[in-house]
Structures are given as C-alpha cells and as structure tokens.
Structure 1
Amino acid sequence: MSESILHQVTVVLYESQDSINIGGVVRAMKNMGVRDLRLIRPCPYDPNRIEQVAHDTRDIVERIRHFDTIDEALADCVYVVGYSGRRQAARWPRHTPRSAAVDMLEHARTGRVAIMMGREDHGLPNEALDRSNAICTIPTTEHFSLNVAQACLLGLYELHVLADDATKAIPAPRHRSPAPTKDEYEMTFADMQRALEGIAYFKTRNEELMMRSFRSLVFRAAPDSRELLLLRTASIEVLRTIERESRLAVQRALAAPDA
C-alpha cells in the first residue's frame, strides 16, 4: 500500500516551553495523519505524560527526534513554512494555512517539507524565519495570540483536507429511509390541506397560493419518507382532534339541561 503524502510532512517545534503543548501537537498530528515531530531544544518532558495528554499516540512519541540547532532539524527539508504573526521587514511569501497547504503538498512530491512553530512567549526568532521559504499567518481578530497546539492543528487540518487523507468514515444514519414517492407526497399534501381547512386557516388566505407555497417549502426540505410521514401524521392528528372535539361538543350540548 502506498504511503500518504502527509508522511513527507514534518512538524518542528522551536524551544517548546510547556510539555502540555507538545502533547497537544502530538494529538493534532495523530488526528491529521502526520507522524514526524522534531524538537529543537525543548523543555524537559516525560514521554509517558505526553501519551496521557494525547492518547494512543505511542507511534508518534517514539519517533520524536531532538536537535540542538535549527539547521540540523531542517537539513533534509526542501520547503519550510514558518508560522508567525509578526510583521517582517523582508518580503517573504505570506500565506494563510490554506494557501500554505497548497505549496507544501506541491513540494512534498519532491521531498520533505516542514511546518515550524516557535516558543510560546515570543514565537520564532529571526534566525528561524530566515530559514523559512514562506511565512504563514493565521487570520484572527486583533487578539492574534494562539496556543501552539491550536495553530498546529489549523495548519495540519488544511494539509489533511487538501491531501484527501481522511480515513475515518462517517457512518450513515442507523435507520436510513428511502426517498418519498410522488404518491406519498400527494397524500401528505392532501391531509395537510384538510387539516388547514379544519382550523379555518384559509379563511383569510388564498388556498391555492398557500398550498403551492407549502409544496415548495416541503420540496426544498427534501425529506426522506420517514420525515414526510411525520408531517402527514401530524396533519392527520389535527383532523382527529377536530373530530374528537366536535363529538364532545355535541355530547355536552345533548347532556346540558334544557334552558
């Protein structure tokens, strides 16, 4: 079986200061199909603690590699995107996570690519940005500070979607109903019309125009046969209630003493 192109993607964290954030990044990688994590001079952390934060990620945790310098961590990469919210004097290509994903996957066809993120307090230093082929900035409100794991998840999500790498199938409804037949539609509209007549809905409204609008509304909703039956049975229940109340009214009238 061929490997996913996302196996060509590396996440590089520069001087991580909180092991919880390392765990959050590992979780995001597992969710989005990326498996290579490189840490440049990280804070001390316990791999077992990382797995407690990010369950079922031993395969990624065991692959984590440590580096002393940025150049060592990026040595085999052909394309690097540095994530930063800072304004740059130099005119680096500027991306959003979505546009960065396009370029990264294109370069991933020829070699390893990397997403690089910086310290929690100051982000990436200039020496790291100098080694980036492009800068990615996540569009936010004026409050632009994002948690490292959140930022990483956004970037990896765009790669995951663009690579069409989703492997988890979303199950169909447990009790899927077929599409309604034309006969089922017409019986529903007939019962609806009788119910509306029973409550004098058309007393001040044009019956033909109103029913045409109801038809349009139901057709746009595109119900399945079970959902359409709910609408029909509601109309039938209105008719039964009207009949029941009419009978009770007659019985009360007959039981009343003569005036």
Structure 2
Amino acid sequence: MLQNIRIILINTFHPGNIGSAARAMKTMGLIDLCLVSPKRFPASEANSMAAGALDVLEKARLFDTLDEAIADCSLVIGTSARTRTHSFSRPMLSAEQCAAQLLSESRQSPVALVFGQETMGLTNSELEKCHFHTSIDANPDYPVLNVASAIQILCYEIHKASLKSDCADNNEKPEQEYPLIKELELFYEHLETTLTDIDFIIQQHPGLVMTRLRRFFNRARPEVKELNMLRGILVAAQKTAKKNS
C-alpha cells in the first residue's frame, strides 16, 4: 500500500527541500516522489540533503503540471493551513485522518499527498483539485512549519497508520471503487459543455458555477458506477437539447 502513496511537491524553490523530502519519505517506507516544475533539479544540494535516500531521489518523477502528476490517482489530499478558498469552506482532515484515508484508498489505486511552494503553499486553483485538505496541529500563535518538517510529520502519520492496519485487511480492497482524477476531469468538461448547451451556464458570464459544482462532487465523491450514470444523464440531456433546438 505504501508504494501507492505519492508525495507531490509543487514549484519547490530550494533543491535542499527536495532532498529532505526524499529522506523523510524513505525513513517512513515511502518511495514515490513526484516533482511539479521544481525551480532547480537535479541539484547537488538535493543530493546532499537526501543523505541515504538517493535511491528515492533518483527515481523521482518530473511533471510540468499538477494535473499530469495526479491524473491516475483516485484520491488527492492537499496540505494547507487555510480552511477557506473563494469563500467556500473546504473538507478538512486531521493529520491522523489524512494518513488513514490515504492508506485505505491506496489498496485500490495510486493516491497523492500534495505540498505547495515553500513560501506560498498551494494556490486556490491547486487546492480545488484536491478531495480533501489536511493541516498539522501546531502552536496557534506560531503555526509555521517548513515544508521538509511538514513532509516528515505527515509521512510519520502514514507509517504509523500502516503499522496499525490489520494484516488480514491489507489484502482486501475497499468496497467503493472511485474514479481516477483524469476521469473526473473528463466528467467536469462534459458537465460544463452540457450546462452551456442548455443555457444554464452563460459563456460570457460563467460565474462560479463550475467551481461550486467541482466542490460539490469532490465532497460527494461519486463512485465509478455513479460517475458513469452521471455521464449517461449528460448525454441524454444533450440529445434532448438538440431535438428541442
């Protein structure tokens, strides 16, 4: 299961943090490191900070966008101290809940834990691509963690959760089968096209309709069969709209 848990770093500024991430991962049994548009990589600073985790560092995969890095994942959790974006509250998990969710769903398909740039964290648009957000409880007067420390803490929670898992259950897949991110993105494209075709969305003034609907479906988390049913409804709606036009 740990092999299916992906740690993603976006726009990492200092290569030393990439090396520290690799080291934090290896100490907790995680091996899948993905980098989205790092400022400098490969770099000697990354190698130095990785210490005995050069194997994780050398196998790190590079992506141009977050969409590419999470396309084959069924669950994406973003790290953020913020609980609201675009005036919408976001589904939040504690560090322990985050670890348990990742571990459980990694039995089915790849899952991802995403970290933003050191100074900015994840952007609103990146957070919108996550099913859940997670944060680390810290001193409310100074809740500041550098990215390497945050990665170490959350990787430890994942490792701890894996030790608690019952061996007999580890070979069982969860009953729910969730769609991959790339399948959800195709659904969102289909949904937006359909809503435009029936004049629910006005192209010149789209407002926040799709943002709200993305948040709704991310929270609802339709299963594969349910998503296929929704796609069928959209097809039927488009056919009816064409007949009546």
Deviations 1:190-211 (A, max 9, x none): xxxxxxxxxxxxxxxxxxxxxx
Shift of 1:23: 1.1
TM-score w.r.t. the length of structure 1 is 0.60
1:74 correspondence with 2:70: yes
The one-letter code matched in structure 1 to 2:5 is V
TM-score relative to the length of structure 2? 0.63
Match of 2:24 in 1: 28
Give the structure 2 partner of residue 133 of structure 1. Answer: 131
- Give the number of the structure whose alpha-carbon radius of gyration is greater: 1
Once the two structures are superposed, what CA deviation does each residue of 1:27-81 show, in whole Å capped at 9, x if it has no partner? 1011011101111110113354323212122221121111111100111111011
The residue number in structure 1 matching 2:218 is none
Is the contact between residue 47 and residue 61 of structure 1 (CA under 8 Å) also seen in structure 2?
A: no
Secondary structure of the residue aligned to 2:52 is coil
How many angstroms does 1:128 deviate by? 1.0
Counterpart residue number, 2:2: 6
Residue 148 of structure 1 deviates from its aligned partner by 0.3
Aligned equivalents of 2:16 and 2:103: distance in 1?
28
Check whether the contact 2:83–2:90 (CA below 8 A) recurs between aligned residues: no
Count of residues in Structure 1 that have an aligned counterpart in Structure 2: 161
Map 1:13-52 onto structure 2 (within 5 A).
13-52=9-48
Q: Which amino acid aligns with 1:72?
A: E
Q: CA RMSD in A?
A: 1.4
SS in 2 for 1:56: helix
Q: Give SS of 2:127's match.
A: helix
- Native 8 Å contact 2:6 2:110 kept in 1: yes
Q: What 5-or-longer segments of structure 1 have no aligned partner?
A: 166-259
Q: Identify which range, 45-54 or 82-91, moves more after superposition.
A: 45-54
Matched ranges for 1:93-132 at <5 A: 93-132=91-130
In the TM superposition, residue 151 of structure 1 has moved relative to its aligned partner by 0.4
Q: Percent identity?
A: 33
Letter in 1 for 2:38: P
